[in-house]
Structure 1
């Protein structure tokens, strides 16, 4: 037996045999290390007790590690270790090969328990950093406008100020403008304090915010307080019911998952009950195919048709938003004009995976509006049906009612939609109180077809009738198809049945490399038509140029002229600069823009391009010229302080920030070159890559005694570095060695021959890689 076991295994087995009670061994059993195979899958070597009656007790802990988490049977205790009798487990078959010392176990799938695998690719497995740094920023955008012959017209300055501390964010923006011949005008726009509780996906807002009460309700700018369940706080959380698949595997198998014929995931799964949840799908109907392939090459294909919508909530989940405050009036024109205390809110609840119900309401002193809603996934994958019903009571008016039915079916090739909204004459919500036009009903329907070969085609009809106001009736048809390479063709036809007007639009787009798109189009509307050619170069994430150039020829019934547009933008390190020229109908307009951001996080003040979302300061030691990347795209290089600001970090998403280690000098060491950061909303983060300059220090420790100096060989002394003891051994001749200690004076201690010696070690400031400290004398 010893011939096939390692020394470690022999020692372990010998120890077990000594410790096992002699009464058990006296029953004719023995301990052995056996090679175990479970349902054709090798599990390794395990210590197993072999009895004369052909039973094989094994540690319950080892059995669980193999995957048999649901195995139940007779348990014996040996030296405080639980051993489970394999023969006593129902659903288990055993085969022992005495020559090979191998045990083959075949277990029924239920004994393995459930294996739940999320098919959506999860968040990065690497360590995620969730920063909560105190930070602030100021964005500015200054634009100079001029007219014909570059004569001055207007100057406009827009700015946004943000400050975050912990889970709280304060944000305010404003606009300042001055027109020729007019005075200056300052307008405060939105100001609010936001609190996010990320673990519960809850948000509270004090100040200005846009509020809605849902279908048949209002959307208003409210100054007050709000409380909501906001799933955008964690974009990786799946709130809607997705497609799942379950089955039993008796052997380890390779599982392939296909969506509409495209492989989306491939996994190797051990035997047992298998649950594949959250299979990623597109909105509409489709087909999931699961292919199971066992070790012998046998395949099983299972088809599962589905219909998916993101309008539903998973069973038991809820979504809500409540706002109480005063309506903002003349937004963009006046800074602080509020009136009418108003409440708006809605609450939705996932009653079942196929049914979400909701309630909504809004109220002021003049009107009360209440309603119910539902979203239903129809049986047999027939689509999704949204319904809403609302009641309103208004001072001096009769009670009003409103309703909505919205049906959508989206298949792999065919789609259909139907929408009908109807209102009584006295139906009001808050936003309708001051409107003179009263809608009687809105109706729209349409059908679409898509295939990779033929392209996409759709046709629709819409109609709106009002108690007061103009009626509208439109027919719209469109066609689009991808042509050779990254090019697309689209055609649109629109007929206004009330105005008796027809419009055609033909466009062709081609996408080149390096973010360049070229498009050409022709539009005709009852006697007038125009042609347009346009080239667009999108701005890069980092530094670089972008812009737009277009020329348009207009043919009217009475005249003909050309329109020109030229826009040039540049993303610089410390700002964004641009200029635009527009010529339309012989009228010229010019604009020059400079925009940027000023940010502060920790002790770092930075100037940059405008900060659109969150930002981060990356620090790489004190090294200049190190390239920094965001999700693989170069953002810039560190400055003389070793720092670079990233002004476009996405809130709530795992952002990959990395540096190029080829830019690091040879005498520096890095702990890591990549980090994943998940920042909160409009936050500033300090991301440090520690670059430590490698510096070695050598010397000789000696003892002066009785006028004689001799080396202290093969002893250990210690020095205090940053409040911690650093033990250092000496070698031949008393030589010692240590690394990476900052310049300064350090206290050393040595206990030798029962006597304590204290001395100083001085580290000089030098750029040398290896520093000789000379002799350190203990006295």
Structure 2
């Protein structure tokens, strides 16, 4: 917990006291005889009073004594009321006159036996009230996962000048059978044409993964990427991967929280604003409070704390903040451990692994509010690597600094890597600069198999500035030097701005500072015609010529089904044209198109993306489910519209089922039914529910629907007139009370779900009468009886 700002108590104490007309040196207000309602005798009266301190009621009655005009209490009573005794008063004093307490105002209401005390905030001895801004932090309870099998597919077929290719990415996933999830993916290609026919299939990744959300731990066995830091690199390995996974508790805040502390004299409302946007509003009782706010920005911002008491008086304080997502809270650690062997020729060969074992570990630890330490190590045969780093926040305005140093030993040669970076973000200005230097003999795990050469030097610089009126400007520079190659140095400048009617314009210029000295410039303008349709044009200038591109496209809404299209034409060194139509629904997405490029020819293609799932005892088609999904059931009722986060996602099929994807794993996803779309007589227990799927797994969401049994009749009383409106009626079934209702005008009784053997019992003019109600199915479709019913004794 960060230390609160120490200037808050003084500011809010004085401001609130002055607002209430109180000074810390204000003398006590003695009670007059008439006010106290007592007499001038010396005998004390014992009183048990309702106490309000600074207009905040105490939880229980408190014991006082009244002698003449003096109201007294014991030291224990005052401590129980949350008051701090002034210096010089004994801790066990049995009788303390309230008029002896400096700065205390006393108002005793004898008629209502109520005592109002107005005390300086320094006298309040209460625990600090801790408040929280932002979403709920506790982990969401995971909905029970049901067994299932899922196949994600991405199929692409094309033809160009007699050559045909069919490529497919497939991922098979098994979940809900025992702990963890099994998955395997592969690429498959079928080709035919002038060179003959051939088929290839390459396995990509196969692994088993177990997530433990309560401990924020993830364990996986198989093919995966090793853990890494910002200044190290991941390697493809086959083996064991154990890591701290913050995504298993997405509502937990890992970055340091800004803490704001103060004191309120009266019951007040505390409002926190960051960059003019209210982040929290909570009520506090008199005394100390501390507000822990979730970071709402990346970079510098302005915070304002506004305290408003119940009398409407406000005190405010402004101060700067700097949000840094790269930092961890003090004492919080993020780490990973990998043991396995390196993967060779990924995407080319299915089972190619290095025979030498590899171990890798990464660690980040929050040492303080403004400092996070980092470490990384790798070990294999003929390879040892170790490095340390740090991320530091330079005060509340200074930006963020990061640095690292690594050393390696491979094949008897030593190498080193050094990096240094700085960034500063503000609403109108952003600056970042970084450099990374490596010696020629520095080797890490990806470079261990000589599959990826590291640059000897990399320098980057970026500055962005502007506002809504002038647009956003940017300047950038990058330099890289690879062994045996000339140094590459690029400089660029850009400008972008929104135009009236939600149009957009962007201009970018780049210059090669090296020997080639090449220049290129790019201008892009887009104009929306409606929510999903837009026109755009692009002009490109380069040393090899100029090009002009015109495009019009219409995209279907991702939260709905529909058709889309795209048409594009380019002129320049090589003319080209593109035409595509696509369709999106709850079962997936497909597109059909033509590409024509100069002398190459015309390419026709067809692409389809989606999923097949064996879940809930049936086979379903749905959109591609890379994360969680849910099987929604509506008790067999077809055609029911289902909403996800209040957005329509599809209707239930003939079996009353719909698979909804994607859902956010480990988070609360709101599924709902629009009751206005249901038949009027349909009964439903709940119109919405929240489901929390595990990662890459499916859950069930059952909405219980059943046709109602409405009944509407008119009833005559014992006097053969309509029962009076408002008459209390009891509905019984099998001798038990089912419900209670009232009679409407003209003796009308309506039940939306009447039992088959319902009986009515009412009291009229002191007499009780009963009536056997007809079964709902025995009435016409209007559910209104043709003849009124007579209530009998």
In the superposition, the TM-score normalised over structure 1's length comes to 0.78
Provide the rounded CA distance (Å) in 2 between the counterparts of 1:537 and 1:644: 27
Of 585, 600, 607, which residue of structure 2 is paired with 1:572?
585
Q: How does 1:608-687 map to 2 (within 5 A)?
A: 608-687=622-701
Give 1:412 deviation, angstroms. Answer: 2.8
| Residue number in structure 1 paired with 2:220 | 205
Asked if residue 540 in structure 1 is aligned to residue 557 in structure 2, the reply is: yes
- SS of the residue aligned with 1:29? strand
Contact 1:692 1:740 in 2 (8 A): no
Shift of 1:610: 2.4
Residues 692 and 547 of structure 1: CA distance in aligned 2, closer, same or farther (over 3 Å): closer
Q: Over residues 571-601 of structure 1, what are the superposed CA-to-partner deviations in whole Å (9 max), with x where a residue is unaligned?
A: 2343432212111224211111334322233
Does 1:161 pair with 2:172? yes
1:644-690 alpha-carbon deviations (Å, 9 max, x no partner): 22122121222111101112333332221111222110111100122
Q: Distance in 1 between matches of 2:265 and 2:130?
A: 16
2:27 corresponds in structure 1 to none
Matched, 1:515 2:515: no
**SS of residue paired to 2:455:** strand
Q: How has the CA–CA distance of structure 1 residues 620 and 407 changed in structure 2, closer, same or farther, with 3 Å as cutoff?
A: same
Residues 697-736 of structure 1 mapped to structure 2, 5 A cutoff = none
Corresponding residue number in structure 2 for 1:306: 321
1:500 aligned residue? 517
Shift of 1:281: 2.6
Distance 1:302 1:238 in 2: 25
- The offset of 1:234, in angstroms, is 1.8
Helix, strand or coil at the partner of 2:203: strand
Structure 1 residues 196 and 427, CA, compared in 2 at 3 Å: closer, same or farther? Answer: same
- Tell me the number of residue pairs that the alignment of Structure 1 and Structure 2 aligns: 679
Offset of 1:45 from its aligned partner?
A: 9.8
The match for 1:354 is: 370
**Structure 1 vs Structure 2 CA RMSD:** 3.9
Task: Report what 2:117 is aligned to.
Answer: 105
For residues 256-295 of structure 1, the aligned pairs below 5 Å read 256-295=271-310
Structure 2 residue 386 is the aligned partner of structure 1 residue 370: yes
Question: Offset of 1:390 from its aligned partner?
Answer: 0.5
Question: In the aligned structure 2, how far is the partner of 1:531 from the partner of 1:643?
Answer: 49
CA distance in 2, matches of 1:407, 1:184: 50
- What CA distance in whole angstroms lies between the structure 2 residues aligned with 1:678 and 1:94? 55
Q: For residue 525 of structure 1, what is the aligned residue in structure 2?
A: 542
In structure 1, distance between residues paired with 2:284 and 2:780: 55
Q: 8 Å contact 1:136–1:684 — kept in the other structure?
A: no
Aligned residue in 2 for 1:390? 406
Query: What residue number does 1:176 align with?
Result: 188
Is 1:473 aligned to 2:484, yes or no? no
Equivalent position SS for 1:192: strand
> In the alignment, which of 534, 548, 553 is matched to residue 570 of structure 2?
553
Structure 2 Cα separation of the partners of residues 466 and 578 of structure 1:
41
2:207 to 183, 192, 196: 192
Gaps of 5+ in 1: 1-25, 75-82, 698-713, 720-725, 730-737, 744-762, 773-779
- The answer on whether the counterparts of 2:237 and 2:342 sit within 8 Å (CA) in structure 1 is yes
Shift of 1:483: 1.9
Q: Counterpart in 2 of 1:23?
A: none
**Do structure 1's residue 689 and structure 2's residue 698 form an aligned pair?**
no
Q: Distance in 2 between matches of 1:156 and 1:62?
A: 80
Deviations 1:267-323 (A, max 9, x none): 443322121212433211121112222233333220111222111111000001111
Deviation at 1:363, TM superposition (A): 2.1
More divergent stretch after superposition (86-95 vs 235-244): 86-95
TM-score, normalized by length of structure 2? 0.77
Task: Tell me, in whole angstroms, the C-alpha distance in 2 between the residues paired with 1:307 and 1:585.
Answer: 53
Question: 2:365 aligns to what SS in structure 1?
Answer: strand
Q: Which residue of 2 aligns with 1:453?
A: 469
Unmatched segments (≥5 aa) in structure 2: 1-42, 712-729, 740-750, 757-774, 786-793
Q: Secondary structure at the match of 1:146?
A: strand
Supply the distance in 1 between the matched residues of 2:648 and 2:97 (Cα, whole angstroms). Answer: 59
Q: How far apart in 1 are the matches of 2:278 and 2:752?
A: 52
Q: Deviations over 1:518-554 (max 9, x none)?
A: 3221111125111222234344334423545242423
| 8 A contact 1:187–1:332 mirrored in 2 | yes
Q: Distance in 1 between matches of 2:559 and 2:468?
A: 35
Would the alpha carbon gap of residues 768 and 378 (structure 1) be closer, same or farther in structure 2, given more than 3 Å must change? Answer: farther
Q: How does 1:472-491 map to 2 (within 5 A)?
A: 472-491=488-507
Q: Check the 8 A contact 1:619/1:642 in 2, yes or no.
A: yes
2:421 to 403, 406, 413: 406
| Aligned pairs (5 A) from 1:144-159 | 144-148=157-161, 151-159=162-170
2:482 match: secondary structure = strand
Find the residue that maps to 1:183 and give its secondary structure. Answer: strand
Worse overlay, 181-190 or 588-597: 588-597
Maintained 8 Å contact 2:578/2:595: yes
The whole-number CA distance in structure 1 between the counterparts of 2:586 and 2:495 is 43
For residue 381 of structure 1, give the secondary structure of its aligned residue in structure 2.
coil
Shift of residue 624, structure 1, vs aligned partner? 2.2
Measure the CA separation in 2 of the matches of 1:655 and 1:84. Answer: 60
CA distance 1:588–1:327, change in 2 (3 Å):
same
Q: Is the 8 A contact 1:408 1:417 kept in 2?
A: yes
What SS does structure 2 have at the residue aligned with 1:662?
helix
Cα separation, 1, equivalents of 2:481 and 2:167: 41
Return closer, same or farther for 1:493/1:432 CA change in 2, 3 Å cut-off.
same
- C-alpha contact (below 8 Å) 1:124/1:654 kept by paired residues: no
Alignment of 1:85-124 (within 5 A): 94-109=106-121, 110-122=124-136
CA contact (8 A) 2:681 2:710 kept: no
Question: More strand per residue: 1 or 2?
Answer: 1
| 1:247 alignment partner in structure 2 | 262
Q: Is the 8 A contact 1:223 1:328 kept in 2?
A: yes
CA contact (8 A) 1:70 1:113 kept: no
Instruction: Rate the CA distance shift 1:359–1:31 in 2: closer, same or farther, 3 A.
Output: closer
Cα distance in 2 for residues equivalent to 1:44 and 1:421: 63
1:230 to 245, 255, 260: 245
